[in-house]
């Protein structure tokens, strides 16, 4: 029994010793692994210290070289500049070595935004020729005659500004434009002669027409650079536009009838009349217009190329809500020669007028492209081409469409002078 107990106690002691040995081994392995990590960190730190020491020595050498180069004659200036540049490059590397985080940050794709510039004020003036188009402008006379009253070559003048706030991509801008289409005219006449007995009558009818268009607009907008920067920035604008489109037309129908071999016509106190002339004149004047205002959206930008050259572009669209108005006056006149015969013709002169107003929406849009050349850092001269459109400028369903068709366009070359300078 005692022997058995002794054997059991010996086995328990052996197991305890084995368990203790295994625990010690695990602890030793953990310590060794920690030492390896510490040694690796120390090696990296030593390598960084050695590299830092090398860069410091190189820095000291380049400083001495720079000092010697500064003392040399002017002919060695280029070499001194090269050495100084090398010094700056090595100093930058040294700073990165001192702070590894800076070296790592340089590899990130997101860069710090460039510093915003000062406030910039830009003003411009522009002028050029315009041609008018859209729906045809036609006027009918007599039974089958027709005049084409499409406006001739006209002109347009414009001026505007753009102000960019300091340290900001935001702008405020405005413009004013005024243009006139060339006056279009038409003239035609017919002559008929009728003979009866010993009398004859010759009737001459003359038709004339004239038509002219004018327009103006004013914009005020707030914009923001949404792509690019500086001269090549793309600006998106939003604001308000006020515009007016006006047409004026006049036409006349004059009938002159000369009769001879009549009569005799006797008026007491006057000699007998055997020939006379009558004139009937119908004169019409009309003015049709649209005046409205509404929201505006647009873009503009300038892309530099080939040194001092730049490609300029802009485009706007606005929905104008306003009033369409037309006024017409019709005057009829009668005269006879000799004048003392007028009492025998009970035909009076008359004047009739009418006026009509409608409310409607009109789309106003424009686009302009061109190239510019910077004459000086603050002045550039450009040339381009512009198209303006008024869509549904009059409502065909209403009576206010007199002498004005729904869609009108103007287009033509432009010359633009732009000046800019930094503002406080």
Whole-number pLDDT of residue 413: 98
If asked whether residues 282 and 338 sit together in one domain, one would say yes
In a domain, 171, yes or no: yes
In this structure, the answer to whether residues 178 and 58 fall within a common structural domain is no
pLDDT greater than 50 at residue 153: yes
Phi and psi for 80 in degrees, rounded to 5?
-65, -40
pLDDT above 70: residue 97: no
For residue 191, being part of any structural domain is answered with yes
Range of the domain at 47: 2-105
Model confidence over 237-278: pLDDT tens digits?
999 999 999 999 999 999 999 998 887 888 887 888 888 899
Residue of higher predicted confidence among 251 and 26: 251
Domain tally, the chain: 2
- Please report, for the domain that includes residue 187, its CATH number: 2.40.128
Residues 10-14 have a mean pLDDT of: 46
Please check whether residues 227 and 135 belong to one and the same domain: yes
Report the distance separating Cα 350 and Cα 330, nearest Å: 8
CA–CA distances in Å: residue 115 to residues 45, 65, 76, 162, 221 = 37, 35, 36, 21, 25
Whole-number pLDDT of residue 368: 98
Q: What is the DSSP letter of 16?
A: H
Q: Are 259 and 397 found together in one domain? A: yes
Both 28 and 162 in one domain: the answer is no
CB atoms within 10 A of CB 224: 15
Q: Which of 47-51, 277-281, 323-327, 410-414 has the lowest mean pLDDT?
A: 47-51
Same domain, 132 and 259: yes
Of 397, 400, 389, the C-alpha closest to 325 is: 400
């Amino acid at each position: 029994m005692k022997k058995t107990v002794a054997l059991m106690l010996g086995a328990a002691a052996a197991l305890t010793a084995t368990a203790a040995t295994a625990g010690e081994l695990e602890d030793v392995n953990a310590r060794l692994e920690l030492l390896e990590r510490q040694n690796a960190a120390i090696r990296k730190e030593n390598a960084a210290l050695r590299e830092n020491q090398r860069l410091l020595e190189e820095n000291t050498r380049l400083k001495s070289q720079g000092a010697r180069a500064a003392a040399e004659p002017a002919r060695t200036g280029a070499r001194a500049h090269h050495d100084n540049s090398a010094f700056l490059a090595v100093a930058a590397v040294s700073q990165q070595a001192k702070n590894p985080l800076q070296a790592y940050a340089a590899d990130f794709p997101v860069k710090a935004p460039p510093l915003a510039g000062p406030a910039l004020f830009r003003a411009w003036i522009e002028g050029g020729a315009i041609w008018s188009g859209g729906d045809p402008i036609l006027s009918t006379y007599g039974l089958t005659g027709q005049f084409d009253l499409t406006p001739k070559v006209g002109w347009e003048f414009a001026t505007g500004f753009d102000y960019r706030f300091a340290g900001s991509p935001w702008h405020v801008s405005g413009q004013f434009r005024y243009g006139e289409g060339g006056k279009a005219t038409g003239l035609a006449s017919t002559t008929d002669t009728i003979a009866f007995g010993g009398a004859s009558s010759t009737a001459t009818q003359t038709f004339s027409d004239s038509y002219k268009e004018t327009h103006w607009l004013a914009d005020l907008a707030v914009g923001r650079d949404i792509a690019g920067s500086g001269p090549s920035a793309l600006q998106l604008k939003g604001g308000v536009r006020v515009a007016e489109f006006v047409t004026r037309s006049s036409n006349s129908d004059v009938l002159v009838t000369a009769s001879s071999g009549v009569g005799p016509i006797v008026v007491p106190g006057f000699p007998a009349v055997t020939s006379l002339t009558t004139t009937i004149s119908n004169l019409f004047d009309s003015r049709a217009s649209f005046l409205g205002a509404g929201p505006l959206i647009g873009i503009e930008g300038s892309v530099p190329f080939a040194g001092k050259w730049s490609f300029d572009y802009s485009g706007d669209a606005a929905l104008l809500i306003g009033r369409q108005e037309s006024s017409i006056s019709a005057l009829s006149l009668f005269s006879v020669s000799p004048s003392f015969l007028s009492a025998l013709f009970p035909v009076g002169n008359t004047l009739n007028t009418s006026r009509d107003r409608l409310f409607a929406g009109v789309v106003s849009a424009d686009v302009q492209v061109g190239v510019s050349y910077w004459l000086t850092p603050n002045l550039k001269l450009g040339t381009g081409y512009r198209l303006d459109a008024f869509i549904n400028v009059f409502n065909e369903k209403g009576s206010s469409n007199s002498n004005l068709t729904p869609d009108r366009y103007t287009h033509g070359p432009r010359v633009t002078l732009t000046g800019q300078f930094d503002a406080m």
